[in-house]
């Protein structure tokens, strides 16, 4: 079924067509009809499967066909998200898909002056995408009224729970009218998430896409055993041998992000870095620059592991393995999005091997090892600023061949 066959406004169909949306993804196909009927929905789907559009399209449709005027501070749909970056991204999706409709959309988050936000809220908005901190600030100041909210959406709900936002979620519900629709979206689910979900939804429609495999099948995985102090040489080599590819590099801490960026600068590789210590304007500038592709290497902490949609990321490099196994899923989900293919390469030092075992247990499968003999390992360290050869490509090609052979044997 194509989007043009859906019973939605022509204004939304027009923006869908302009944005390249032809057919719904699995999560969109299953969620949109239920949301349009007014059902509560609990949706679990892999990152990169189109969750944002799955709730944005029907919410825009429902609000577009309403003709009521807005009052001071009034909000009709509240989308709660854990980070500023996600609030900005979801706002952009709503604005892109709703640009020909009458729906007014606003992102609300901290790190910026609140005067302009208050001025816009005073006119009332249809869809508010908000982080908890700034939202409660403006509620307490009397600038935000949630008593008219028709739809509450919790996106990246598992991450919100990890960050301790459960109390904020329950506080928000106390501000909402008794009868409202709740949409609960998450990439992962466990008993704690399930308990939270069922405590705030009414007889929800449960939608679960590919529950047995938390990682998109579009992503190929490999791990290279590299000592901690040698990782910079392997990153340099990978970057030089794939100069046209967009590469997202994950490290553990903001200090590590700056150190790796400095190491790349010493060998004249241009990179961008991003982490929680940067000012909001700097973070937005970095994201925009990376999305444009003028600089193709972004070194970041897990601030960019969740929900952020960066077009055309070819490689995710786990320079440091994540502390939590499920963060591996979110990191590698930045590549292989939609119908595109992606490659995840992890550098694992001796001390990180227990973490690798935890990640593999979480995935329910082993990650293919890129075998590097002593000669190639030494050559990589001596490789810095030398003419690249195709050894990395051979390793990756062999990895792909091994995976295909394993799949063939299983059939």
**CATH fold match for the domains 3-208 and 219-410:** yes
User: Regarding predicted confidence, which is higher, 305 or 23?
Assistant: 23
User: Given a cut of 90, is residue 67 above it in pLDDT?
Assistant: no
What would you measure as the largest C-alpha separation in the chain, in angstroms?
72
Question: What's domain 3-208's architecture?
Answer: 3-Layer(aba) Sandwich (3.40)
Can you say whether residue 271 is alpha, beta or left, with left for phi > 0 and alpha for psi between -120 and 50 degrees? beta
What average pLDDT score do residues 354-381 get? Answer: 89
What average pLDDT score do residues 242-251 get? Answer: 93
User: Given a cut of 70, is residue 214 above it in pLDDT?
Assistant: no
What's the fold here for domain 219-410? Rossmann fold (3.40.50)
Structure tokens at 405: 């052979």
User: Given a cut of 90, is residue 31 above it in pLDDT?
Assistant: yes
Question: What is the pLDDT of the chain when averaged over all its residues?
Answer: 85
User: Given a cut of 60, is residue 387 above it in pLDDT?
Assistant: no
Q: Can you point out the beta strands (E) in 192-251? A: 205-208, 219-225, 247-250
- β-pair partners for 43: 185, 207
Name the CA radius of gyration of the chain, rounded: 22
> For 40-54, 102-116, 350-364, which range has the lowest pLDDT when averaged over its residues?
40-54
DSSP 388: P
Angle between helices 84-97 and 280-292 (to 10 degrees): 50
Q: What is the residue extent of each domain of the chain?
A: 3-208, 219-410
In this prediction, residue 388 has a pLDDT band, given cuts at 50, 70 and 90, of very low
* Contacts with 366 (C-beta within 8 Å, 6 or more apart), sequence order: 360
pLDDT score at 386: 47
pLDDT score at 308: 63
What average pLDDT score do residues 113-132 get? Answer: 92
* Overall pTM > 0.75: no
Euclidean distance between CA atoms 73 and 267, whole angstroms: 53
């Amino acid at each position: 079924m194509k989007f043009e066959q859906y019973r939605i406004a022509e204004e939304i169909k027009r923006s869908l067509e302009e944005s390249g949306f032809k057919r719904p993804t699995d999560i969109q196909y299953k969620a949109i009809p239920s949301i349009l009927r007014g059902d509560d929905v609990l949706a679990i789907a892999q990152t990169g499967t189109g969750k944002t559009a799955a709730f944005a399209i029907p919410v825009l449709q429902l609000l577009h066909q309403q003709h009521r005027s807005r009052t001071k501070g009034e909000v009709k749909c509240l989308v709660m998200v854990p980070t500023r970056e996600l609030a900005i991204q979801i706002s952009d999706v709503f604005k892109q898909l709703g640009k020909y409709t009458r729906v007014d959309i606003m992102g609300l988050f901290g790190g910026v002056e609140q005067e302009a936000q208050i001025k816009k809220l005073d006119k009332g908005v249809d869809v508010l995408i908000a982080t908890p901190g700034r939202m409660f600030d403006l509620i307490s100041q009397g600038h935000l009224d949630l008593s008219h909210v028709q739809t509450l959406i919790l996106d990246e709900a598992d991450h919100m729970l990890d960050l301790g936002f459960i109390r904020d979620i329950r506080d928000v519900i106390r501000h909402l009218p008794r009868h409202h629709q709740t949409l609960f979206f998450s990439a992962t689910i466990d008993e704690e998430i399930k308990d939270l979900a069922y405590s705030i939804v009414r007889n929800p429609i449960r939608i679960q896409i590919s529950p047995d495999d938390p990682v998109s099948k579009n992503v190929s995985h490999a791990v290279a055993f590299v000592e901690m102090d040698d990782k910079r040489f392997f990153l340099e080599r990978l970057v030089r041998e794939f100069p046209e590819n967009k590469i997202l590099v994950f490290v553990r801490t903001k200090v590590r992000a700056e150190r790796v960026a400095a190491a790349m600068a010493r060998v004249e590789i241009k990179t961008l870095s991003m982490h929680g210590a940067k000012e909001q304007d700097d973070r937005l500038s970095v994201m925009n620059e990376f999305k444009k592709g003028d600089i193709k290497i972004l070194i970041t902490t897990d601030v960019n592991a969740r929900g952020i949609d960066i077009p055309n990321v070819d490689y995710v490099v786990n320079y440091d393995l994540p502390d939590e196994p499920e963060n591996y899923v979110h990191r590698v989900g930045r590549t292989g999005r939609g119908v595109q293919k992606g490659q995840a390469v992890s550098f694992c030092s001796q001390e990180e091997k227990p973490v690798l075992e935890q990640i593999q247990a979480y995935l329910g499968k082993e990650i293919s090892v890129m075998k590097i003999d002593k000669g190639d390992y030494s050559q990589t360290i001596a490789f810095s600023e030398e003419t690249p050869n195709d050894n990395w490509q051979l390793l990756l090609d062999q990895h792909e061949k091994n995976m295909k052979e394993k799949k063939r044997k299983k059939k």
